[in-house]
Amino acid sequence: MTDDEQRTWTVDDHLRDADPAHVALWREVVALVESCGPVAVHAHKTTVTFAGTRRGFAGARPTRHGVDGFLDLQRPLGPDRRIRRVTPYTRRLFVHHFRVTSAGDLDAEFAGWVREAYAVGQGAHLA
């Protein structure tokens, strides 16, 4: 195992050296996620994930393009420029990979998707 594989990743690792505008946008995504209720934040090598009481439901990180992330939803979303791809995860869950490039992308529709993902984190997919 390399030193890079053994080290503990932090949120700051993902923010360091990132474009300040993309860090600010990432913080807006985090605020949107946290507005749904309590979440656990976990930093991993590839992203920062957000978990509810039952499971992880979202992740995001600043990139050179804006903020890339994912939302776990119980349904596949229709076409939207922010959704880069949708992948079935289980019979009841679909992983939606997104990219947002401005605060305007975090509209009411996107906030609704985040609330749906938060419900998954609380176990809604088990009902």
Write down the pLDDT at residue 7: 80
Walk along the chain (127 residues) and give the pLDDT tens digit of each residue: 555 567 899 998 988 999 999 999 999 999 999 999 999 999 999 999 999 999 999 999 999 999 999 999 999 999 999 999 999 999 999 999 999 999 999 999 999 999 999 999 999 999 8
- Give the pLDDT of residue 4: 59
| Burial bucket for residue 75 (CB in 10 Å: 0-12, 13-18, 19+) | exposed
Longest Cα separation, the chain = 44
Rounded CA gap, 110 and 126, in Å?
23
* 101, 19 Cβ separation under 8 angstroms: no
Measure the CA–CA gap between 109 and 18, rounded to whole angstroms: 27
Q: Where are the domains of the chain?
A: 3-126
